[in-house]
């Protein structure tokens, strides 16, 4: 109930945060912030009395998560988007992790943060394909697909605005792949990841 009240009272976002619409944030800084945020979250610093995270920041983790996610995804438009790609990957890894482990004082962290994993994956994989081609997409995205896939989404309750927007990662990659060569490369990459060793 408290989370619902906080969400209702929070001001509505006005599009991507962090500066003018056409301005791409410093992606090296964003990536460093994402790595620090995720490390603290996984260490339980947003749950307990860790001096590295102030009591105020423990209650504002949603805003920090949203800002970092917005800035990382905005950075995918940069000419050198590798730091942004890394930041998005780290945030999605965290989203998958918190479905089963408590890192924040929240019953459903991704619903509270408003983070749609399938949207982030679509932006990331689309950028990978445009920047590097189908061979690199297959090499990097197929392990992510296997690691991130979730039959019932990434929210704990499977109910709410975020859950309604989620789609399967199989349908995401199907939309990203634009030609037969990309399909073949990704199919081969998927088989390499999932094929038993020996």
Q: What is the pLDDT of residue 2?
A: 60
Any domain includes 187: yes
Whether the Cβ atoms of residue 104 and residue 52 lie closer than 8 Å to each other? no
pLDDT band at 15 (very low <50, low <70, confident <90, very high): very low
Any domain includes 35: yes
Q: What is the domain count for the chain?
A: 1
Any domain includes 92: yes
Give the residue from 129, 127, 130 showing the smallest Cα distance to 189. Answer: 129
Any domain includes 4: no
pLDDT band at 3 (very low <50, low <70, confident <90, very high): low
pLDDT band at 25 (very low <50, low <70, confident <90, very high): confident
Residues 41-61 have a mean pLDDT of 91
Q: Is the pLDDT of residue 20 over 80?
A: no
Any domain includes 6: no
Any domain includes 90: yes
Any domain includes 80: yes
Which range marks the domain in which residue 158 is found? 12-194
DSSP state of 46: T
Cα–Cα distance measured from residue 96 to residue 25, given in angstroms and rounded to the nearest whole number = 25
């Amino acid at each position: 109930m408290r989370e619902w009240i906080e969400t209702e009272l929070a001001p509505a976002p006005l599009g991507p945060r962090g500066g003018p619409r056409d301005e791409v944030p410093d992606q090296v800084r964003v990536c460093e912030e994402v790595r620090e945020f995720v490390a603290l979250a996984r260490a339980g610093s947003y749950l307990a009395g860790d001096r590295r995270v102030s009591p105020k920041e423990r209650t504002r983790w949603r805003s920090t998560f949203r800002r970092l996610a917005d800035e990382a995804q905005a950075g995918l438009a940069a000419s050198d988007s590798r730091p942004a790609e890394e930041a998005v990957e780290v945030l999605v890894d965290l989203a998958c992790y918190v479905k089963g482990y408590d890192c924040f004082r929240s019953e459903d962290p991704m619903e509270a943060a408003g983070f749609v994993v399938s949207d982030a994956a679509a932006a990331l994989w689309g950028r990978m394909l445009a920047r590097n081609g189908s061979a690199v997409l297959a090499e990097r995205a197929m392990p992510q697909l296997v690691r991130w896939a979730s039959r019932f989404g990434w929210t704990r309750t499977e109910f709410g605005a975020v859950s309604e927007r989620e789609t399967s990662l199989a349908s995401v990659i199907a939309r990203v792949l634009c030609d037969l060569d990309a399909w073949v490369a990704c199919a081969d990459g998927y088989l390499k990841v999932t094929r038993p060793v020996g």
